[in-house]
Amino acid sequence: MEQELHNDYSRVVKDAITDTFNRYQAEEEWLKNEIEAK
């Protein structure tokens, strides 16, 4: 039971980190394109 809880928690944390990372990369790409467009 304890192990299962831990696995769920790890998955949630990993998803959150991945989501944040992807969003950060997308923003960076967008900024780069904005700067090049000017």
Three-state DSSP at 3 gives helix
- Which residues form the domain of 5? 1-38
Distances (CA, A) of 22 to 16, 17, 19, 29, 36: 10, 9, 5, 11, 21
How do residues 1-28 score in pLDDT, each as one tens digit?
688 888 999 999 999 999 999 999 999 9
Residues 6 or more apart from 36 whose CB is under 8 A from it?
Answer: none
Q: Would you state the pLDDT for residue 1?
A: 66
**Domain count for the chain:** 1
State how far the Cα of 23 lies from the Cα of 35, in Å rounded to an integer.
18
Residue 29 or 4, more confident: 29
Give me 30's structure tokens. Answer: 């967008």
Whether this prediction's pTM lies above 0.85 is answered by: no
Q: Would you state the pLDDT for residue 15?
A: 98
